[in-house]
Structure 1
Amino acid sequence: MDEKTLCITLGDPCGLGPELVVRYFADPREGKYLLIGPVAALERELERAGSPSFFTKINDPDELDGLPGGVYIFEPPELSRLGFPAGCQTVEGGLAAGVSLEKAVELLRNGTVHGLTTCPLNKAMLQQAGFEFPGHTEFLAERLGVGREGVCMHLCGENEDGSNALRVSLVTTHPPLSEVPRLVTRERIRHCLNLTADFLKRLGKSGTIGVCGLNPHAGESGRIGHEDQDTVEPAVVEARRAGIDCEGPIPADTLFHFAAAGRHHAVLAMYHDQGLAPLKLLHFGKAVNVTLGLPYPRTSPDHGTGYDLCGTGTACVHSFAKAVELARKMMA
């Protein structure tokens, strides 16, 4: 059987993606990889770093069949004549990210590649380029036929000493805060708990999933909103009856303290900033974003395009490296 291939999209080539890829592959890596994006962006970073080329250009991803392990790049034809200035927010950068993602989805579907790591994109530029999605998670969920309600955004933290780190799943991803209460349903909570529990098993982890309350103090028995009593608590009870080790709703300001101390092996947060603010406080630049519920492994670094860091040599490659490593582990 041919070696499994990990696809890596360069994201917005005006951002940090090309630099991260160049720095990561400066050391020889085992495995087979297909990069998708503009070759010129990688060549720009190779020249800046004074590094030799590490990839082989292919004109058709079908050429991958039978090729040995190594790093290959496919440049979608519509990107070949565009410019991608480093550190600049451009619609062309959004177009490159969207076109590269579309190609990656096609290759996942036809079995040419077997997993995906995505470099950061600019959501506003993606949308201005004609791709009406809030971000990678929603884009991939719809294009891969799962639907936005079928997936769950999850971030894995890491501590350098190997001690317990936060792992956070989100019931909602990128809606306006005013829409969150409507989107937090029993069905959605149970689905995210199922996906999170399954993912912990794949990592070889076991333990309780702590579930955040939606309201301050988890609603104080209905005195501060009714959602925690009427929606979150019943969903947790139903999940426990189905065999999932979870507890809640727990006030978020308390739950994250105990989760960081190791009492909970993962946290289910109700909305984006509730979950990711504490995670990034502890693990900024070292966490990995995983889309749970897709038919293929998908990971990404936990940060954005970082236009202001382009060319400074100060960007950290750690999160990208961990995203690649996790994707390959999930492909095995």
Structure 2
Amino acid sequence: MSSLKLPLALTQGDPAGIGPDIALAAWAKRAELDVPPFLFIGDPEVLTSRANILGMPVSVVTCEAEEAFSAFSSALPVLAVPVGFDVQAGQPHVGAAHSTVKAIEIAVSLTMENKTAAVVTNPIAKSVLYEAGFGFPGHTEFLADLALKHTGQPARPVMMIAGPKLRVVPVTIHIPLKDVASALTQDLIIDTCRIVANDLKSKFGMDAPRLAVAGLNPHAGEDGAIGLEDRDIIHPATMRLRKDGIDAFGPLPADTMFHDAARKRYDVAVCMYHDQGLIPAKALGFDDSVNVTLGLPFIRTSPDHGTAFGIAGQGIANPSSLIASLTMAAQIAERQAS
């Protein structure tokens, strides 16, 4: 049973995607799965319409953050951010971009003002936001900018995918594979690992987190025989981290890092590029992994999947990753409050 005193702030994501579907399903399973109370930030008309399409008897109530906690047991509380037109499930429209962005801004503001306990974001469609003039590569960079505006201090966000069997952190994220080697530096690896180690302590309660650092090349470079990055960049970075008291070891051959016995030897796998980490993470926990942003002055989690326009409004979207995201956000908030 959650001991939260504040609701979580759940953004609508792209309203034409499955965000409304899984939010409705999560609320419907609140008692069965002990889903922590949340405030949906988005268009209540979208939720009501989607509930009717899905045949879900959900009561939606518009309210402020202060009223959401008590309302949650009997109705799905919504802080209204109107889209301005009738949203069709599965049909994204650039006109909805403003409310999508506004919902994220409000969620961060409420959490920074201690009116909500954490930010949980539903999936966005970056192409739709770009068409509307969105000036950030994605969610994470936008959240870092909002953190800067609220605190005056720059944030260095780090993406971690956390599932029941594996946690992974990619050092480089959304860049072409051909650019990864030139983007890797000792400082980038060290800064990433320091943020990971710090947040695993403060947010996940680990006294001495163990960081397994993957190599870039096959067989971690074979001491320079198959590329120099492992020997000249990754290994010196792990040595500097160990001198700083962080239990980071590697570079390790990535093809032997993710089997059952190997995973018992570390708490998080730090990988050199996106797919090196996310392929095993999704293979081992596709439906219940959580995207956690480390390095921010507030808690942020998100389902580890996209908008899934192709199944929106069809009643087949799986809410497991969203429920895991809400649960993890609540657990972190409870730990930090204790």
TM-score computed with the length of structure 2 as normaliser: 0.86
Please identify, of 7-16 and 232-241, the stretch whose mean Cα deviation from structure 2 is larger.
232-241
Q: Which amino acid aligns with 2:309?
A: Y
Give yes or no for the alignment of 1:290 onto 2:296.
no
User: Whole-Å Cα distance in 2 between the matches of residues 259 and 199 of structure 1?
Assistant: 25
User: Whole-Å Cα distance in 2 between the matches of residues 247 and 76 of structure 1?
Assistant: 47
Q: For residue 259 of structure 1, report the CA deviation from its aligned partner.
A: 6.5
Q: For residue 69 of structure 1, report the CA deviation from its aligned partner.
A: 5.5
Partner of 1:254: 256
Aligned-partner SS, 1:203: coil
- Aligned Cα RMSD in Å? 2.3
Matching residue within 25, 48, 52 for 1:47: 52
Identity of aligned pairs, percent? 38
Matching residue within 317, 323, 326 for 1:324: 326
User: Whole-Å Cα distance in 1 between the matches of residues 110 and 270 of structure 2?
Assistant: 32
**Relative contact order higher in (CA < 8 Å, ≥ 6 apart):** 2
Give yes or no for the alignment of 1:138 onto 2:144.
no
Q: For residue 154 of structure 1, report the CA deviation from its aligned partner.
A: 0.1
Give yes or no for the alignment of 1:306 onto 2:311.
no
User: Whole-Å Cα distance in 1 between the matches of residues 161 and 271 of structure 2?
Assistant: 11
Partner of 1:162: none
Give yes or no for the alignment of 1:120 onto 2:126.
no
User: Whole-Å Cα distance in 1 between the matches of residues 183 and 278 of structure 2?
Assistant: 18
CA displacement 1:263-299 (0-9 Å, x = unmatched): 2221001111111011111211220000001111100
Partner of 1:13: 15
User: Whole-Å Cα distance in 1 between the matches of residues 262 and 163 of structure 2?
Assistant: 10
- Checking the alignment, whether the CA contact within 8 Å between 1:16 and 1:310 is kept in structure 2 is yes
Give yes or no for the alignment of 1:38 onto 2:43.
yes
Aligned-partner SS, 1:256: coil
User: Whole-Å Cα distance in 1 between the matches of residues 305 and 68 of structure 2?
Assistant: 35
Aligned length: 319
For structure 2, the residue ranges without an aligned partner over 5 or more in a row are none
Q: For residue 260 of structure 1, report the CA deviation from its aligned partner.
A: 5.7
CA displacement 1:297-316 (0-9 Å, x = unmatched): 10011100011122332221
Partner of 2:280: 278
User: Whole-Å Cα distance in 1 between the matches of residues 67 and 44 of structure 2?
Assistant: 21
Q: For residue 67 of structure 1, report the CA deviation from its aligned partner.
A: 6.8
- Checking the alignment, whether the CA contact within 8 Å between 1:154 and 1:292 is kept in structure 2 is yes
Q: For residue 49 of structure 1, report the CA deviation from its aligned partner.
A: 3.1
- Checking the alignment, whether the CA contact within 8 Å between 2:7 and 2:69 is kept in structure 1 is no
Matching residue within 28, 34, 39 for 1:26: 28
Aligned-partner SS, 1:73: strand
Give yes or no for the alignment of 1:155 onto 2:161.
yes
- Checking the alignment, whether the CA contact within 8 Å between 2:291 and 2:303 is kept in structure 1 is yes
Q: Which amino acid aligns with 1:157?
A: G
Please identify, of 302-311 and 137-146, the stretch whose mean Cα deviation from structure 2 is larger.
137-146
CA change 1:225–1:133 in 2 (3 A) is same
User: Whole-Å Cα distance in 2 between the matches of residues 16 and 260 of structure 1?
Assistant: 35
CA change 1:213–1:259 in 2 (3 A) is farther
Q: Which amino acid aligns with 2:195?
A: L
Give yes or no for the alignment of 1:182 onto 2:188.
no
Aligned-partner SS, 1:74: strand
CA change 1:95–1:215 in 2 (3 A) is farther
Q: Which amino acid aligns with 2:218?
A: P
Partner of 2:170: 170
TM-score computed with the length of structure 1 as normaliser: 0.88
Give yes or no for the alignment of 1:90 onto 2:93.
yes
Aligned-partner SS, 2:302: strand
- Checking the alignment, whether the CA contact within 8 Å between 2:44 and 2:60 is kept in structure 1 is no
Aligned-partner SS, 1:111: coil
User: Whole-Å Cα distance in 2 between the matches of residues 173 and 218 of structure 1?
Assistant: 19
Q: Which amino acid aligns with 1:183?
A: A
Q: For residue 319 of structure 1, report the CA deviation from its aligned partner.
A: 0.7
